[in-house]
């Protein structure tokens, strides 16, 4: 597998999609720092912990785009068949693709932190959380990205048509974000209406104790919260918005998705007909 990784990394360093992702993430980091600077001039306080999580929604699309445009050419150019003909095993081919996807995604995320680390201390007021919590959040973000990479690698190794792969991965990323945003919106509904005075038939009515019918209660709320915590796109939104309530559980869910998707993808790839 060492030869596969060496060739893969050599191709990755020359891939425009990789450097485009790096450039996008550097720009995102710079824009976040600029917004924090503008906010600080208006009296808004930002913390380093905030700046370290604003990349998560963008990160959702990194593995999808990279795997679609980089790994998607493996079938199109017959590269996978050539690797197998050369004596490489299917597990080695699969894991080398996964490692390349992980490395590319982590390097792109690292590019986001370059301007944040350089400019962040000058526009923020400390960490805003304990170092242990910050480490847990950063670890959770990387595990979330790893889970997304595993899912996208699975698709890349099983879908042999590049155009179809790109459509599937991008639609899955967009659909996941939209679904998770809907779930997050339902969870964010207040249990009671805010305290305002309304006029009903000429009479003023205090609505401060009126229940919100859109508020999710009971077992349904548990299901909504599980969906937000379990799905990588839900985790991305929770990290981005700072609404996470179970960060340790989210790390475990990402590990579960990473392990299950890799095992399932490898099992399916072993049986795939590569004519």
Cα(144)–Cα(141) distance, integer angstroms: 5
Q: What is the pLDDT of residues 48-100, one digit of tens each?
A: 988 999 999 999 999 999 999 998 888 777 778 888 888 888 999 999 999 99
Q: What is the pLDDT of residues 114-149, one digit of tens each?
A: 999 999 888 888 888 889 999 999 999 999 999 999
**pTM, whole model, 2 decimals?**
0.90
- The burial class, CB within 10 Å (0-12 / 13-18 / 19+), for 44 is exposed
How many CA atoms lie within 13 Å of 200's alpha carbon, on the beta-carbon side? 6
Is 232 strand, coil or helix? helix
Chain-centre distance for alpha carbon 190: 27
Q: Is the pLDDT of residue 199 over 70?
A: no
């Amino acid at each position: 597998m060492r030869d596969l990784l060496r060739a893969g990394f050599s191709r990755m360093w020359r891939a425009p999609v990789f450097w485009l992702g790096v450039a996008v993430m550097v720009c995102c980091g710079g824009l976040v720092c600029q917004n924090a600077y503008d906010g600080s001039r208006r009296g808004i306080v930002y913390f380093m912990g905030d700046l370290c999580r604003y990349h998560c929604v963008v990160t959702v699309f990194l593995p999808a785009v990279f795997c679609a445009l980089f790994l998607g050419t493996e079938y199109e150019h017959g590269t996978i068949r050539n690797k197998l003909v050369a004596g490489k095993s299917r597990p080695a081919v699969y894991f080398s693709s996964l490692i390349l996807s992980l490395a590319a995604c982590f390097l792109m995320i690292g590019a986001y932190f370059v301007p944040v680390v350089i400019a962040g201390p000058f526009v923020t007021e400390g960490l805003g959380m304990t170092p242990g919590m910050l480490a847990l959040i950063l670890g959770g973000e990387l595990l979330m990205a790893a889970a997304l990479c595993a899912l996208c690698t699975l698709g890349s190794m099983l879908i042999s048509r590049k155009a179809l792969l790109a459509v599937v991965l991008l639609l899955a990323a967009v659909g996941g974000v939209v679904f998770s945003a809907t779930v997050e919106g339902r969870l964010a509904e207040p249990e009671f209406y805010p305290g305002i005075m309304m006029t009903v038939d000429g009479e003023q009515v205090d609505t401060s104790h009126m229940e919100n019918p859109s508020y999710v209660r009971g077992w349904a709320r548990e299901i909504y919260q599980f969906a937000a915590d379990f799905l990588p796109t839900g985790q991305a939104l929770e990290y981005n918005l700072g609404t996470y309530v179970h960060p340790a559980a989210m790390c475990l869910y990402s590990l579960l998705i990473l392990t299950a998707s890799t095992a399932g993808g490898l099992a399916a790839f072993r049986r795939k007909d590569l004519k």
